[in-house]
Amino acid sequence: MDYGKSGNAKSGKNTPRHREHNEHGTNKTPFGNKTAKEELLARMKAAAEARKKED
């Protein structure tokens, strides 16, 4: 008897257990929809200013 062939199938070793919610190609993050670096910097600066005003 080949005991190595008994039991459940082995899952992939390097695969995620679930699909990510922010995966590229979905409605939230479609392919080719990258934000410009200037927009990112503007958002970061606005957030930093908002944090400074709270303190």
Q: What's the pLDDT tens digit per position in 26-40?
A: 777 778 777 788 888
Query: Is 36 contained in some domain?
Result: yes
Give the side-chain half-sphere CA count within 13 A for 28.
Answer: 4
Query: Is 53 contained in some domain?
Result: yes
> Alpha-carbon Rg of the chain, whole angstroms?
23
Percent of the chain scoring above 90 in pLDDT: 22
Query: Is 8 contained in some domain?
Result: no
Structural domain count, the chain: 1
Alpha-carbon gap, residue 44 to 51, rounded angstroms: 11
The DSSP letter of residue 32 is T
- Find the domain containing 51 and state its range: 22-55
More confident residue, 52 or 36: 52
Alpha-carbon gap, residue 40 to 47, rounded angstroms: 11
Query: Is 3 contained in some domain?
Result: no
Query: Is 42 contained in some domain?
Result: yes
Query: Is 15 contained in some domain?
Result: no
